[in-house]
Amino acid sequence: MSRTDKQKGVALLVVLILLVMMSALAAKISQQFCRSLQKTHYQVSQQQLRWAMQAQEKAVKDLLQTQASGESKALAPDGDWHQPLETRGDNYTVVGQVEDAQNCFNVNNLLAEDKAPAGKDAPAAAVEKPRKEQIVEQILTDSGVSPSGAEEIYLQLVDYLDGDSVTVKEGAESDAWAGVVPARQPANQMMRNIAEIKLLPAFPAAAYPKVSKLLCALPDYASKVDVNTLKPEQAGVMAAFFPGKLTEEDVKRLIDSRPEAGWESMEAFTQVLELNFPQLKDDLPKVAEEFAINSRYFRVDYTGNTDDLTLLAVSQLQVNNEAGEIVTWQRRYRMIE
């Protein structure tokens, strides 16, 4: 082979190598462009769904302003406020479902001082646990937690919520929570989401599915349980207010007999309780202020769909009767491709 032929062969080999490199580079650029285009498409779709959800939320607020405003106005369990809303666009659909967020026991109520602690002047042996502690522990035990575990969780919950650095047992919180894996410390403030209860060292994850239906975290320490929207699966909430005297089955029967439009007043509700459960007569005055026939807090669950993705969102709404408006105090999004 002549020298010229060798040079031509080398030149051809170099050209082929360059072609392979350019092809690989072009493929990579094309792949990156497709990813960027897909990412941009997802972002546009997400923003489109968010705008649709926020527009739907305005309609929800207008509806609640009419049906949920007023301290003495009963909230019908299946009123117009509870009907699903659907918004359709050129290439998307958004469905919103409004739920009462006050048909549960608000753990932030533990921050409020009891007006008359039970057995304050009684001998130590006769002192009963505060009613709120009894309620929380009853809900926990009904959810499968042992009595000793429920008591430990309650104490940790109080330490998590209160603003000091001292435990209920008057020890240092830093010492009480030391050695927890993963490391954590009490927030020393209101819970913003009941899922935070899983951060308590003594809380068993297996109990969360039921506990999360009975306990909640609202930005309030004096919220009440709405008896008009209480569901059968939440019967344990009301039963916990009357430990040993009212069972979940009793509450379920009470819910089944509830008027279609709900109890029109608290007097009507307490009369039904006294009539059907005379054993509660002495307890009712102690817990009357813990119940209501309406709500100031609502949750809206949104599901938005396009051809490419599903966007889930939850908005927490608060009815401010004094200001005459409804505000969104929390909103969370989650995307599913």
Are 97 and 189 found together in one domain? no
Structural domains of the chain, count: 3
User: Does a structural domain hold residue 260?
Assistant: yes
Domain coverage including residue 177:
104-223
Are 75 and 129 found together in one domain? no
Are 120 and 83 found together in one domain? no
User: Does a structural domain hold residue 272?
Assistant: yes
| Residue 120 pLDDT | 45
Tens digit of each residue's pLDDT (9 = 90 or more) over 323-335: 778 999 999 998 7
pLDDT band at 118 (very low <50, low <70, confident <90, very high): very low
Give the pLDDT mean for 55-82. 88
- For residue 13, the Cα-to-chain-centroid distance in whole angstroms is 66
Are 158 and 219 found together in one domain? yes
Are 141 and 234 found together in one domain? no
* Among 7-21, 123-137, 169-183, 221-235, the range of highest mean pLDDT: 221-235
Are 142 and 207 found together in one domain? yes
Are 113 and 147 found together in one domain? yes
292, 309, 327: which is the final residue of a domain?
292
Residue 186 is part of a domain; what is its CATH number? 1.10.40.60
223, 254, 270: which is the final residue of a domain?
223
Is residue 239 packed enough to be buried (19+ CB in 10 Å), middle (13-18) or exposed (0-12)? Answer: buried
Are 251 and 319 found together in one domain? no
272, 292, 312: which is the final residue of a domain?
292
Q: Would you say how long the chain is, in residues?
A: 337
User: Does a structural domain hold residue 276?
Assistant: yes
User: Does a structural domain hold residue 36?
Assistant: no
User: Does a structural domain hold residue 268?
Assistant: yes
Tens digit of each residue's pLDDT (9 = 90 or more) over 203-249: 999 999 999 999 999 999 999 999 999 999 999 999 999 999 999 99
User: Does a structural domain hold residue 31?
Assistant: no
* pLDDT at 122 exceeding the cut of 70: no
Which residues touch 148 (CB under 8 Å, ≥6 apart)? none
Higher pLDDT, 207 or 18: 207
Are 218 and 268 found together in one domain? no
> What's the pTM value of the predicted model, to 2 decimals?
0.84
* pLDDT at 270 exceeding the cut of 50: yes
Are 123 and 219 found together in one domain? yes
User: Does a structural domain hold residue 320?
Assistant: yes
Are 144 and 211 found together in one domain? yes
